[in-house]
Structures are given as structure tokens and as C-alpha cells.
Homo-oligomer: A and B are copies of this chain.
């Protein structure tokens, strides 16, 4: 991505221009800049000469030369209502501390500015670049940033953006498969999924992971066990009610994300159905409260802190005019096992607990 900030006081040559002058590809220039050895000596010498003559600024030297720089990075987040945002912010903050850049903060939801107003505002403000955690991946907004020459990276926890947008995400398909494989390993065969909104790429990827795990285990997909949700507590709550009303209810619920898992907990609590004795529950995201609730929630961890950190590193490279290794990076999800999953109830346990439940009602 080219940078063309009107306020910049130093002229910079881009990697693309070096490549054009040297008559080589951009990745070749990048390999030379990164000190890799797989470039022919003559080519390397030619590229290094152009770099030297052009005044191309490597990132370590870039900071000192950015006299026209505001020294400020803008971070836009929807709000703090979901703890995943705060994890991302921590990662951004840690990466920025090493750069000397300052973090300016805006919310796109809630009582203050909307995303459109924020974009109008950022144009009036000095900024070196932006990290965006969007409420919806609206590509029109991103085009607006491009048009204004503002470097940006999206922390795309929903996986909605195309591969050409600088963004960091997580491996949702692998995470979904992992959650179901774990439940299968505990002996579950009736495993429900409360999915997220079908407009979110991450949601479709998690459903695909769920299907892949069941199919690999030779278990037919029961469409009754796949329920739509919206990633909020309430849909976890209502869909659990619907699942329990089935003639053959599940013994485990993959809740799609941690907020929906809290809705599952609430529905089970009100029916006096114990977790994990009578129902296993697994979330996705691994936001901080998963470890705090009782029973603590087993969840597929999105490395939100690392996603914020990597997005910041990418943005600093873009600001310095350096190439990205790849515009789209996906970090690995991992399973964090806690107290909310167990083997499915045996028939004798089921009877004992049913009698308990009636004694409380």
C-alpha cells in the first residue's frame, strides 16, 4: 500500500518504485531488505545501490526521519461491552510501547461517534495510521481510508474481509473442528451448535469445522442440532431452551462464542441442569470471564492479544513504507480446557439428577 499523506515532510521511495527501477519483483526487494540470502549477488548489489541512492528509509531509521509525523496511531473499536475488545487493545498497546508512537482511542458504537463520523474526524486530525476493530466489515469505509492515504490494518476477528485488505484474524474452521473433536473424545454423540450470524465469515467457518469433525467421526449431521444465534447472551439462552425441548436433546452444546455460552449457562441454571454433569458446554474466544465463572468455561481461544500485537506491527511496517509478508494473517486457535465439559451422563446419573431436580421445584 502506498502512503501519500499530505502532511509528510519527507519524500519516501516505496518498495514498488525500487522494484521498478531495479527491474525485479517486489518480493525480491523485500528479501534483500529482510537480509535473506536467496537473491543472486548481482541482483542484490543492484537493489542495494538503488536503496542507498533513493534515501529509502528502513523502519529502524524511519522514526527519526518522520518529522512530519504526528506520532499518533488511531485505534477504533466498537465499544468495550465484549471483553474481546479489551484483549485486542492490550496487544496493540504492548506493541506500540516499543515504537514510541502514541495511541489515540475512539469508540464507534454506544453513545458517542459512529464509524462514519469517526472517519470524517480522522481526516481533520493528524494521524500516522489506524487500527480498526469494526462492528461490521464495511469495505466502503476502508476505501475511504485508502482514498485519504491513511495506512490501516483491520483486526478482523470475524474473518469478513477479502485477502487483499491488511488484516489479522484467527483460524475459525480449525477452532470449530477442535471443539467438536474434544467433545467426541469425551464420548458425546449428540452435539449441538449454536452458531453466530450467517453474515459473519467466522461463523460459517466454525459451522464448517463442526461438520468436518462429525463427518470424520462418521456421525450424521442432524440439522435440528444446528441453531442460529447472534453471538449475544440471549440467543444462547433461547436456543438452549429449543434444544432441550427436542425429543432427543443433545448432551453437549458448542455455544459458538463465550457470550452465547453464558446464555446456555443461564438457561441450564434456571432448569437446574448441572454443568458438566448433565450437559457439557464449550465456548469460543476465551475472553477473561471464562476463567471467572462457575463452572469455568472450556473455550476455543482466539489469540486476541496477539492479534492486536501483530496488527500493530503490520501497521508500523506500512507507515515506514515497508512491505508486509502477507496482507492477511491468521493466527492459530487453541483449546483451553476447564470445568464445563465431561463425559455424557450415564442413564443412572440422569435418573438421580432428575429426582433431585423435582425435589427443588
Residues of A within 8 A of B (CB): 72, 75, 79-81, 83, 86-87, 89-90, 93-94, 97, 102-107, 110-113, 125, 233, 259, 262, 265-266, 268-270, 277, 288-289, 292-295, 352, 356, 359-360
Is B81's CB under 8 angstroms from A93's CB?
A: no
Ranked 6 nearest A-B pairs via Cβ: A269-B294, A80-B86, A97-B112, A105-B105, A103-B105, A266-B294
Is A80's CB under 8 angstroms from B72's CB?
A: no
Selected from B80, B111, B125, B270, the residue in CB contact (under 8 A) with A89 is: B80
Is A102's CB under 8 angstroms from B104's CB?
A: yes
Q: Report the minimal beta-carbon distance from A276 to chain B, rounded to whole angstroms.
A: 12
- Given the interface pairs A113-B97, A266-B294, the reply to whether A90 lies near B103 with Cβ below 8 Å is no
- Given the interface pairs A86-B86, A102-B125, A356-B356, the reply to whether A262 lies near B107 with Cβ below 8 Å is no
Selected from B79, B94, B125, B294, the residue in CB contact (under 8 A) with A90 is: B79
Is B107's CB under 8 angstroms from A104's CB?
A: no
Q: How far is the CA of A302 from the CA of B157 in the complex (A)?
A: 32
Q: Report the minimal beta-carbon distance from A308 to chain B, rounded to whole angstroms.
A: 12
Q: List 18 A-B contacts (CB under 8 A).
A: A72-B104, A80-B87, A80-B89, A83-B83, A93-B107, A94-B110, A94-B111, A103-B104, A103-B105, A104-B104, A104-B105, A259-B292, A268-B294, A269-B294, A289-B292, A352-B359, A356-B356, A356-B359
Q: Report the minimal beta-carbon distance from A249 to chain B, rounded to whole angstroms.
A: 19
Residues of B within 8 A of A269 (CB): 294-295
Residues of B within 8 A of A262 (CB): 292-294
CB-based nearest B residue for A293: B293
Question: Apart from A80-B89, A83-B83, A289-B292, what 10 extra A-B contacts exist at CB < 8 Å?
Answer: A80-B80, A80-B87, A89-B105, A94-B111, A103-B106, A262-B293, A262-B294, A270-B294, A293-B294, A356-B360
Best-buried of A107, A270, A277 by chain B (most CB within 10 Å)? A107
Residues of B within 8 A of A359 (CB): 352, 356
Q: How far is the CA of A111 from the CA of B265 in the complex (A)?
A: 33
Is A81's CB under 8 angstroms from B356's CB?
A: no
Residues of B within 8 A of A89 (CB): 80, 105
Residues of B within 8 A of A90 (CB): 79-80, 107, 110
Residues of B within 8 A of A80 (CB): 80, 86-87, 89-90
Residues of B within 8 A of A102 (CB): 104, 125
Is B112's CB under 8 angstroms from A94's CB?
A: yes
Q: Report the minimal beta-carbon distance from A106 to chain B, rounded to whole angstroms.
A: 7
Selected from B81, B113, B125, B294, the residue in CB contact (under 8 A) with A288 is: B81
Q: Report the minimal beta-carbon distance from A286 to chain B, rounded to whole angstroms.
A: 15
Q: How far is the CA of A125 from the CA of B102 in the complex (A)?
A: 9
Residues of B within 8 A of A97 (CB): 112-113
Residues of B within 8 A of A106 (CB): 93, 103
Best-buried of A103, A268, A352 by chain B (most CB within 10 Å)? A103
Best-buried of A105, A233, A270, A359 by chain B (most CB within 10 Å)? A105
Q: How far is the CA of A295 from the CA of B265 in the complex (A)?
A: 9
Q: How far is the CA of A106 from the CA of B89 in the complex (A)?
A: 10
Q: How far is the CA of A111 from the CA of B87 in the complex (A)?
A: 13
Residues of B within 8 A of A270 (CB): 294
Q: Report the minimal beta-carbon distance from A259 to chain B, rounded to whole angstroms.
A: 8
Q: How far is the CA of A308 from the CA of B97 in the complex (A)?
A: 25
CB-based nearest B residue for A91: B111
